[in-house]
Structure 1
Amino acid sequence: MARMVRTGFQLTTLRGIDESLLRKLDRVAATTFDGVEFAGLEGIPPDRIAERLDTLGLCAIGAHVEVDDIEEATDEVIETYAHLGCDRLVVRTADGVGVATDDAVDRTAGRLSALGGRVAAADMGLLYHTGSAEFASPAAFDRFVDALDPAVGLEIDTGQAQHAGADPVALLRRYAGRTPLVHLTDSRSNSDRTPHVELGGGEVDLAACIATARATGVEWLIYEHGRTADPIASLDHSDAALSALIGA
């Protein structure tokens, strides 16, 4: 039987509006999203954010954190985000992190595996967020995942995978059990400027991604739009679109 899956919102989608992080949390709470994924705290004390999350009834799904920051201040990063209720830290492709070459595969898998054990010891999980570059060589990405410590999972971005020519549904099936979080995004492959478009405006089979996520034990479907020109409209549109898709 397919399991329930909750919906979340990556707060970087709202980075283009001149409002505090607390006000952005208010906006998300006014929608049907169940939780938020962080990408920085904008200098606001964790106590204040935790209090606002509790008041609003929003879950803290996890946080995108630079790999260097986790390596250099592991205990501090874990303490900060655990205080918010996050149980996962997510690393994106960045300088020194990637799978473009065999050396990069070995280096990145080694760095993340070492961190994964340290993060797991604090009862948190470490995930690697996939972009588009990972799928330039599917074989290299497979080798990368095989080389990762089992403590390190994946956060697959469906739109960026599609934009790179990969099949996001096949990826969710292939990495079932390693992918607790999914960035449910849409994209069009006709331009380098469209790795993310509004849900329903691209080529991703969103319904199939959701069905596969449910069938493979994904816990959260998280919306993100890294290229939106209208963040508030993107929040409202994704809320309506995802609600319709989840209920279909």
Structure 2
Amino acid sequence: MRVAIDAAGEVVSRHLPPVEQSLLLTVANNGRVKAIEKLDTPVDEYGVPDPYEYLGRLAVTLDDTYEPPKPTNVHHLIHPRADYARHGRDSVQYRYRESPSLMLEIPIQIHNYGHWVMLPPKMPPFEVMEQRVKEQEQVDRLFRIGRAVIAAPRWLDEMHGRGAQLYRTAETYVSRHEPTEAQFFDELDKMDDGVLGLMPNRQDLADMGLPAATRYLGVLAGANSLTLRREARASIRRYGL
């Protein structure tokens, strides 16, 4: 990646943070930006990356004055893609990579910088990936049910102001097709407690009640909820990115 010199004499690239504002970037003799060293991606005891520790590890390598441009995109913490895609899109390996809770929506420059200065995480044992996928699917399913239960009364209230016939049609649809609070807890009762820290203890969720449990599951579910984006942005602000 070639660079340019701005009016202040700083080395700049629209793809990466300025070299002068990073502890890990330098310019090689050929005029290209290179990493001085590469850091390990932070992982938990099972070898699963920690999204917010990842951001924190990047943040401490950047100057406090650095402000990334606003455009964002989604960063897969599990990469390179080819290592997982070669097993097939329906494989445990690929579904593990695509787990929404292992993605972050972050500024594009930070995304690029992470690839530049952070080593890819090692693929964990198959059993860990399989369990992580199971917990992700359980969290996703509970979140979708809880969200539907909460949304139905709000939708009916909206339909109520649009005429009696439309309201009756909506009411019939909800009664026939939308899940109930009882179904949420029935589904929860059928599931297993988590092992890797993603799926919460079922009794703890039950004790929260449906609205609070659904909000919490939304954070865990990741990209199935806008909460992931809010949490990622809050983390970026917290670390000064």
Give the TM-score normalised by structure 1: 0.25
Q: Name the structure where helix makes up a greater proportion of residues.
A: 2
Give the TM-score normalised by structure 2: 0.26
Bigger-Rg structure (1/2): 2
